[in-house]
Each structure stands twice: as structure tokens, then as C-alpha cells.
Structure 1
């Protein structure tokens, strides 16, 4: 049986859980959020991604109720939440520092918010046990935060945040304090927990790998604006600008002028020998400035020029980044431009085909890159 694809944003019948409508936030003369309109849907794992100061944390703080918009409105389930204080919103926030109470046990940390509500004692106990089970912490309920690992503390903070069953959980750089291996493991745990609970998660991160791993959609931000919102695959494969292409993963940007040479096909004169061929559904006029973004893994490296190559350039190996499963070759062209090509290390390093200063050919297909206006 085919699994249905989760894409409520493509369904006009679906009503968003969160709506930012023309939201601007100023701090004095500084515009942190600039006339932003964006929908987020129920059960989404939505990632806000961007460099420091791009406005992603301000967006989250407005959702939590710690900041109010200067202009525009934020709706939760169709209701304007401007005047609703943080403790009255069906929203919870998990901070990077976890903010656990050191003198309380794991069990009591999770129960803390529930005890402040009018939930009966036996219902609190059942809910805490449910949260411990969900986050695989059942054995650690009687321990204090200092008696468990960083990854376990992170899960306690998550269990406490989810205990009151919020409609929306905000995660501010939640895995920033964990080492790389633990962070990767925890990303998958977060995804499982989000799927199990059906809670809408909005995560703020500057770690592109994290956003691409966990999110149903990624919003790439810059200077208070969302530049592109799409699924991780589309953000990576079909960026809408040089900024997004450059921000997500490794990329080569070839700058030149376009000349139509067939249906959705263009010759790009880029000042490095013969023009290169690229396809684009977006039309370009003769002589229009264009940027061709090509990922290193889409570029083949070889000792000889492939006979059937649509695009091929020769250069010499300037640098090699060995990444275990992959090697990235930095190849310098006669003009001085450097292009990165990546290949899988299926053989041992001692048998590597190319080394520093070797002459090599780089080749790629007409559809390997994305042609961008800016």
C-alpha cells in the first residue's frame, strides 16, 4: 500500500495552525523581521535556518509571547495571539540550556508544569510515566540532572516541554550542546517523538545538516526575511537564489551570460574556454546575466576527457579534502577559478586515482546544475 505524502501546504483545503500575516518587528531603528507572511501547518516539523542575526529567534520569541510584533499579526488556530500571555498560550518552548531544576529528580522536573495546573495527582503520575517512556528515560526517573548525560538531560527537557501536550513546541538550538555523533542520534529521536505525539515542532537552528535531517520544510532566512521555504530536497536541488544555494551544502557558482540554444536550453559564456550548456524552465534572454549552481557530487572527475561529455573543462588538483566516505577535489582551472568535485571513496586511500598537481578533467551533464537569476 502506497504511503501518503505529508504535504498539507500543497492542499488548499488545509488550514494552517500558525499564520504570520505581514509581521514586522523593530528594535529601535533595527528591523529584525521585515513584513513577513508565512503559514505553518499542524504536525509539521518546521525549521527556521539562517546565520546569526537573520531573525529566526525573534520569530520564535514572538510565537512564544516573549516579543510582540511592531506591525502585523500572528494567528494560532485562526486566533490572533497578540494579547495572550506566554503561560496562557498552547505553546511551549525548549531552550538550548535545557533549564532543568538541579535539585529536582528527572521525574519531578517533568511533573513541574503539570503540578501548576489543576490536573489530578494520579493523572500527573500517569502522564509523567508516559513521557519517561516516550523519551526512553523510564530507568532514570529518580536521578537528578547531574547524574545523567547531556543527551539524557536534553530528553528530560523535551519530556517536560511535551508533558502539557502543547499544540506547538518551539525548539531553540536544542542540540547545540551535544557532540556531533550524539546530535545525529538525537535528531532521529526528535523526529520519532514528533511523529508519535503529532505535535507541531518549530526548530531554530544555524546547522543546515540538522534542518535538512529533521524538517518537513525548511525556511532559509536572511536579514529578517524568508528567502525560500521548501522541503529539504527542493531547497537542496532547486534553490531559488544564489544565497540559498550557497547557504545549503557545498556548491560551485559559475557566473556568466546566457544565450538560448534550444527549448529550455542555454549556452553560458563564463570566461573559461567554451560556453557550458545548462537547462532551465525559467526563461533567460540573450546576454542576460546568469549564475549556474552545481553541487560537487554532480561533477565527475577523470584523467581523460569523456568522449560523450556535454560539459568538460581541464584543470589541476589544487587540494583534496578527505571526508572518510567522500573526497572533495578542489580543481584549479587555467583562469584561476577553482571548482569542487566530489567522489565516493570506494577504494582505499593508498589506491586513490588522483593526487595534488595532477591534471584532471571535470565533466557534468546539462541538467546537473540550476540556472539562477541572482
Structure 2
């Protein structure tokens, strides 16, 4: 029995949980958010991704009610929440610092918001016990925050944020304080908890890998605008601009002039070099300036000349050994660098290629992405 794919954004009848309509936010002469329109759906794990100053945190603060839009409207479950104060929104926010009360136990931290609401003792005890189970903290309820690890404090903050069963949970760089290995483990825990609770998560991050790991969809932002909103595979494999291609992962971007061919385009890019073939559905004007983006894992490296669409000769000038794979920086005759990757599938410490080796690189016409800007 096939499992239904979760993709409400592709369903014309699906109603968004959150609707941004023409939202602009100015601070004096500076425009932090510029005419932003966006839908986020119930049960989504939605990531706002971009460099510092791109507007992603301002968007989150507007959702939380800490900032008011200069223009436009925001709806939550169909209700305009522009004038609704933060404490009256079905929204909770988890900060990077976690903001736990150091003098309270784990149990008391989780119960804090429920007590403030005036819930009865039995309901609070049942809800806190449920949150401790969900975040695998049953054994730590009596401990103070300084008596548990960074990853456990992160889970306490998450449990406290979820205790009041918000429709929407906002996470502002929630894993920034964790070391790399713990951060990777916690990403999957977050995904598991989000799926179990059914709460809509919106995460702000500048970590591309984190956004690609946890999110159902990613919004790439720049200078207060949405550049592309799509699922992680689409954002990575089909970026809509050189900005998105360059922002997400490693990529080589080659500029040239596009000419139509039988199954796409060829790109004239360097004197004395063969034109590069790329399959594309774009309608690019003959001879127009265009770009090809090619990921290093799509580029193969060889000692002998292969038979393929795009075959180039170059010299290895740098090598990055990353354990599971090696990245080779291959210099072309004109000084341009194209990166290629090899997976290290065997337990052999010797590299198949070394510095100053003359090599061939190649990739198929289907591997590159043609971009107009």
C-alpha cells in the first residue's frame, strides 16, 4: 500500500495555516521585509534560510507578535493576527539561548506556562509527564538545567514550548549552541517530535545543511525578499538563480553564451574549450548571457579521457579529504577551477589522484542546471 506524500502546497483546495500577504517591515529608512507573500501549511516543518540581515528573524518576530508589519496582513487559521498581542496568539517561540529558569527543575520549567494559565494540578502533571516522555527526559525531571547536557537543555526548552499545545512553534537558531555531532542527532529528534505532535514548526537558520535535513520546504531569502520557496530536493537540484545555487552547498558556476541545440543548449564559455552541453526547459534567447551550475558530486574525475557530453582537461591543484569522499579542485587552462568529487568506497588511505596530476573531468548534459541570472 503506497503512502500518501505530504505536499499540501500542491493541493489547490488546501487552506494555509499561515498567510503572509504583501507584508513589508521598515525600520526607519531600512526595509527588513519587502512585499512578502507566502503560505505555510498545517503540520509543515518550514525553514527560513538566508544570510545574516536577510529578514528571516524579522519574519519570525512578526509571526510571534514582537514586531508589527508596516504594510500587509498576516493570518493564522484565517484570522488576521496583526493586532493580536503575543500572549494571545496560538504561537510559541523557542529561542537559541533556550531561556530556561536556572532555579527551577526540568519538571518545573516545563510546567511553568501551564501554571501561568491556571490549569489544574492533575492536568499539569499529565501534560508534563507526556512532554517528558516525548522528549525522552523522564529520568531528568528533578534536575536543574545546569545538571544536564546541552542537548538535554535543548529538549527541555522544546518540551516547555510544546506543553501549551500551540498551533505554531517558532524556532530561532535552536541548535546553534550545540556541537556538530550533537546538532546532527538533534535534527532528527526534532523531526520525530514534530511528526508525533503534528505541530507546525517554522525554523530560522543560516545553516544550509540543517534546513535541508529537517524541512518539508525551504524559503531562501535575500535582502528581505523570497528568492525561492520549494522542497529541499528542488531547491538543491533545480535552483532558480545563481544566488540560490551558490548559497546551497558547493557548486561551480560557469558563465557563457547560450545556443540552442537538439535537446537543450550549448554554452560557449572559454576560448579553445569545447562548448558545454546542458539539458534545459528554459526559453533562453539565442546568444544570450547564461550560467551553468554544476555540483561537484555530478563531476567525475579520470586518468584517461572518457566518452561523454562534457569532457575537459585540467590539473589537480587542491584536495579536500572528508572521510566518506574527496573533493578535487581541478584548474582549467584559463585558470578557472571546477570541483569534482569521488566517494571513498574502499578502506585505502592512498588518494587515487594527487597534486599536479593531469586529469580529465566530465559530466552529462542532464547534470548541469542552466540559469539566466
1:87 aligns with 2:83: no
**Matched residue, 1:255:** 255
**TM-superposition CA deviations, 1:203-243 (whole Å, max 9, x none):** 00000000000000000000000100000000000000000
Aligned equivalent of 2:153: 153
Query: Is 1:282 matched up with 2:290?
Result: no
Using the TM superposition, give the Cα deviation of residue 119 of structure 1 relative to its aligned residue in structure 2, in angstroms.
1.5
Given the two structures, how large is their TM-score scaled by the length of structure 1?
A: 0.99
Q: Distance in 2 between matches of 1:369 and 1:336?
A: 21
| Cα distance in 2, alignment partners of residues 13 and 357 from structure 1 | 58
C-alpha displacement of 1:274: 1.1
Partner of 1:168: 168
| 1:157-199 alpha-carbon deviations (Å, 9 max, x no partner) | 0000000000000000000000000000000000000000000
Structure 1 position 43 matched with structure 2 position 37: no
**5+ residue gaps in structure 1?**
none
CA distance in structure 2 between the aligned counterparts of 1:232 and 1:203, rounded to whole angstroms = 14
- Following TM superposition, by how much is the alpha carbon of 1:94 offset from its aligned partner in structure 2, in angstroms? 0.1
Question: Within 1, Cα distance between the matches of 2:335 and 2:351?
Answer: 25
Task: Classify the secondary structure of the residue corresponding to 1:351.
Answer: coil
Shift of 1:120: 1.3
Matching of residue 109 in structure 1 with residue 109 in structure 2: yes
**Separation (CA, whole Å) in 2 of partners of 1:209 and 1:352:** 27
SS at match of 1:109: helix
2 CA distance for matches of 1:92 and 1:220? Answer: 23
Structure 1 residue 266 corresponds to structure 2 residue 273: no
- Within a 5 Å distance, the mapping from 1:204-215 to structure 2 comes to 204-215=204-215
Q: How far is the alpha carbon of 1:286 from its aligned partner?
A: 1.2
| Structure 1 pair 83–261 and aligned structure 2 pair: CA distance change class (3 A) | same
Task: Provide the rounded CA distance (Å) in 1 between the counterparts of 2:348 and 2:97.
Answer: 41
- How many angstroms does 1:349 deviate by? 4.7
Give the 4+ runs in structure 1 shifted more than 6 A.
none
Unaligned runs of 5+ in 2: none
TM-score in terms of structure 2 length: 0.99
Cα drift, residue 309 of structure 1: 1.0
Map 1:226-265 → 2, pairs under 5 A: 226-263=226-263, 265=264
Q: 1:261 and 1:11 mapped to 2: Cα distance?
A: 36
Tell me, in whole angstroms, the C-alpha distance in 2 between the residues paired with 1:351 and 1:196.
45
Equivalent residue, structure 1, for 2:309: 310
Offset, 1:270: 0.4
- The size of the alignment, in residue pairs, is 372
1:62 equivalent in alignment to 2:68: no
| Distance across 1 between alignment mates of 2:73 and 2:284 | 38
Equivalents in 2 of 1:364, 1:233: separation in Å?
Answer: 20
SS at match of 2:243: helix
Structure 2 equivalent of residue 338 of structure 1: 337
Q: Deviations over 1:259-294 (max 9, x none)?
A: 11124x111000151111111101112101110000
Q: Which residue of 1 is the match for residue 6 of structure 2?
A: 6
Distance 1:271 1:12 in 2: 46
1:31 partnered with 2:40: no
| Structure 2 residue aligned with 1:371 | 370
Q: Secondary structure at the match of 1:162?
A: helix
Tell me the residue number matched to 1:301. 301
